[in-house]
């Protein structure tokens, strides 16, 4: 029986490394003018997402991927790419951070908490619980699709 003719892994990888970076303009064009609206397509995929994350053995697939990559790969990629991208990423995210945090900032500012008690007092834990409850309610209200 004939086999599939396939170039060596070295040729495939070399071509990918040499050719793919030059395709950044195609990537940009696809982002600027997608064939389908991202939000609509992602919303329509909610049932598929739920089926995927609740499928049998999803935990085994998840941990298998982690074990296959390993800490060494995560650390290598984080150091090679993450460090250089960290600062520019933070700068680029400034308006998104402001917009995303603003509702929680407003919620914190209007949250009433009990007066501080003596060190170790249960009333101090009630202060934390009040903040936690307020932020959770805000998060659920903002994240709800209904």
Query: pLDDT for 67-76, tens place per residue?
Result: 999 999 999 9
Q: Are residues 66 and 112 in the same domain?
A: no
In a domain, 80, yes or no: no
Let me know if residue 55 belongs to a domain.
yes
Q: Any alpha helices (H) in 20-92, and if so which ranges?
A: 24-32, 38-44, 46-53, 58-77, 83-92
Q: How many domains does the chain have?
A: 2
Which tokens in the block code for residue 63?
């941990």
3-state secondary structure of 129: helix
Radius of gyration of the chain (CA): 24
Residue 117 domain-assigned (yes or no) = yes
Dump pLDDT digits (tens) for 2-12: 888 888 899 99
Domain coverage including residue 141: 93-146
**Residue 16, in any domain of the structure:** yes
Quick one: 60 and 24 in the same domain?
yes
| Domain termination residue (choose one: 32, 55, 70) | 70
pLDDT at 4: 81
For residue 83, being part of any structural domain is answered with: no
Per-residue pLDDT band for 145 (boundaries 50, 70, 90) equals low
Is residue 41 included in any domain, yes or no?
yes
């Amino acid at each position: 029986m004939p086999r599939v003719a396939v170039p060596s892994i070295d040729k495939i990888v070399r071509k990918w490394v040499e050719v793919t970076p030059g395709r950044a303009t195609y990537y940009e064009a696809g982002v600027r003018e997608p064939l389908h609206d991202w939000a609509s397509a992602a919303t329509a995929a909610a049932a598929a997402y739920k089926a995927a994350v609740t499928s049998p053995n999803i935990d085994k697939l998840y941990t298998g991927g982690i074990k296959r990559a390993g800490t060494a790969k995560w650390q290598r990629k984080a150091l090679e790419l993450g460090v250089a991208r960290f600062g520019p990423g933070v700068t680029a995210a400034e308006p998104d951070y402001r917009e995303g945090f603003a509702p929680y900032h407003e919620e914190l500012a209007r949250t009433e908490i009990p007066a501080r008690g003596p060190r170790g007092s249960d009333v101090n834990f009630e202060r934390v619980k009040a903040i936690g409850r307020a932020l959770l309610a805000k998060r659920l209200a903002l994240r709800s699709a209904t």
